[in-house]
Chain A
Amino acid sequence: MVIRDLTLAGLKKEQLLNLHYTMLLMRHFEEKAAEGYTLGKIGGFLHLYTGQEAVGSGVNLALEQNDVVISSYREHGHALAKGVDPNALMAELYGRASGVSKGRGGSMHIFSKEHKLFGGYAIVAAQLPIACGYALSAKLLKENFVTVVYFGDGAVDEGAFHEALNLAQVWQLPVVFVCENNLYSMGMAVERAWAVSSLEPRAKAYAMDYEQVNGMNVLDVYQTAQKAVKRARETSMPTLIEAKTYRFRGHSMADPSSYRSKEEAEKWKQTSDPIVLFENALREAGIANNDDFKKNDDRALQIATKAVEFADKSPMPELQSLTEDIMVDPTGAIAWRRPR
């Protein structure tokens, strides 16, 4: 009998289980963050990624280490996929000095230079023009990185989306636009907000390549992203990906969820949980079993739990850091006084 490695979407068991682990890490991390918010340990706004894990983990698997990720305020999952330390990420949510952004950014402003996760931005759609700038650097400085930018279905109604898509196409920028269409921008349903039913006509308006993908199927996401990343890397052309997904929790922790029915949300959770769907696929292909899944689940929960412990015992930022890092130039402040 010839024994050969079983694969799915060209991925071996180890890669597939890593992917599974990434999704579980996102899930447990967000659950722990929700707990922290409820306990009053996390303030401000907290936008969770729960339900959308297949998008960030699938896209990220198509990237090389040198590739750039830029995101919105719903970016914890993207950061974890890119390799950002869960401890430093949770510490940022807790507003601690050991956070990725020294506690000055919070949940919406995650940034890790080391991992080329260049920012969570909290002005809807503002990150798209910024991503064009990164892609312009890649092109002019002959650095062969691809820039991926994530945004939601609300962002596509902002002018910045249209300006960025047009510029990326006209300037032939190596950028992949990933719209995570979770059907609601805060409480506004896409069918009430969009004049069209998908992003295809909007991509066509800018002569841009468009891919729609089931954002609950991580392997479909991965393969779609692979095509777009290859196009960007090899031909320096952009792609618009629309990943159809659903957030299992509210827009933020402050969301009353008055705009959608409990039944609707339950149905998505029961029939379309991206982690469950992926486990089913792995099981059916005979690649992995419940023991493998349990192992990943335990490990992810342990890492998320440790992240909370780390964050909770980390010190608050020093008060003197309040006015640090506003500018590189220390004389850049208003009313600069010369040393006497």
Chain B
Amino acid sequence: MRVITYREALREAMREEMLRDGRVIIIGEDIDAYGGTYAVTKGLAEEFGRDRVRDTPLAEGVIAGAAVGAAMSGLRPVAEIMTINFSLLASDQIINTAAKVRYMFGGQTNVPVVFRMPAGGGAQRGAQHSQMLEAMYAHIPGLKVVMPATPYDAKGMLKSAIRDEDPVLLIEHELLYGVRGEVPDLGEEYTVPLNRGDIKREGTDVTLVTFSRALHLCLQAAEELAHEGISAEVVDLRSIRPLDLDLVLDSVKKTNRAVIVEEGWKYYGTGQGIAAMIYEYGFDDLDAPIGHVTGVDAPAPYAKNLEKAVFPSYTDIVAAVKKITPVRSGR
């Protein structure tokens, strides 16, 4: 095992897949000459050439459309969209084309494309550069939406995404690129499946269901709760669609309590979708109403103090857990 950053993990995944399969190409804005907006693609053009690592004009619609067309005709494109906020300009091709063509053309084609993009806020980037938006894509049949939170998962899931025969959105987080974590040594091949969540910390009293950067807040909260005598299990969904529902339900069956934690907005989002599924399939296992920790229902502000208040913190999670979880006596 080695310790590398999330950014390096993503780069290694693309490099290894490009070495393995000559059909893998990367297209996107500023991925070559600039070195990648978040430096994820740094050095890949030098190694693989400008045919396979292609800077594009600033035009998300044609980046997405060309990536979809290329995927339908034999290439394995990884399209980097600079941030998920700009993906709205590509969303016609993602939602109306990538997610639809296999079905509406009677199974005659498929779209092995990967859209990589960072989501999230916390760096004072303001209202138009701080959104999550994953729920919008996870709503769509025909897409896979995955959100790894650790370097290990980022590398393993990006490799799986590139090999996958269906369109995958791999949504990163702007504040995760520098996060360090253990990954297997170079040359030790591994992948992480796109349909399995992961228990990042085992516990018995309450289940924290989370994904993306909020995982790290949950782990911090679980540590704090442990000191107070509450044993929290942390379920990292890793994938939003498909959702590893059994992992969530099995954990809730054990703990009888759930708090869902996400950075995005509360209403009509990923967390409410999961809550509805727990109520639908695991109602009898619940001893308390499901808790839900989210971002404030407002656009992201710029001012430092306001921004700090808009996103959930680990203390919000601790409070939400305590609200529904009695501290067991005799500890």
Interface, chain A (partner B; CB < 8 A):
68, 70, 99-105, 109, 111-113, 118-119, 121, 123, 126, 128-138, 140-141, 143, 159-160, 163-164, 166-167, 170-171, 324-329, 331-338
Contact = CB atoms under 8 A, between A and B. Distances in A.
Contacts of B59: 163, 166-167
A141 B144 contact: no
Contacts of B141: 326, 333-334
B105 A130 contact: no
A170 to B, nearest CB: 7
B74 A331 contact: no
Interface residues of B, number: 52
Contact of B195 (A121, A328, A331): A331
B66 A101 contact: no
Determine the main DSSP class of B at the interface with A: mixed
A132 B66 contact: yes
Contacts of B142: 326-327
Instruction: Give the residue among A131, A171, A324, A327 with the most B Cβ atoms within 10 A.
Output: A327
B166 A136 contact: no
A134 B73 contact: yes
A130 B65 contact: yes
Nearest to A128: B65
A160 B61 contact: yes
Interface in B119-178: 138, 141-142, 144, 164-166
A163 B93 CA distance: 13
A104 B92 contact: no
Interface of B: 23, 25, 51-52, 54, 56-57, 59, 61-62, 64-75, 77, 92-93, 96-97, 101-110, 138, 141-142, 144, 164-166, 195, 241-246, 277
B73 A109 contact: no
A334 B243 contact: yes
B274 to A, nearest CB: 9
A126 B106 contact: no
B106 A325 contact: yes
Contacts of A338: 244, 246
B69 A133 contact: yes
Given A133-B70, A160-B65, A334-B141, A167 B104 contact: no
Instruction: Give the residue among A126, A135, A334 with the most B Cβ atoms within 10 A.
Output: A334
Contact of B69 (A132, A140, A337): A132
28 contacts: A68-B73, A101-B106, A104-B104, A104-B105, A109-B105, A111-B101, A119-B105, A119-B109, A126-B65, A126-B93, A126-B97, A132-B65, A132-B66, A133-B65, A133-B66, A133-B72, A136-B75, A160-B62, A164-B65, A166-B59, A325-B103, A325-B106, A326-B142, A327-B166, A329-B165, A334-B138, A334-B141, A336-B195
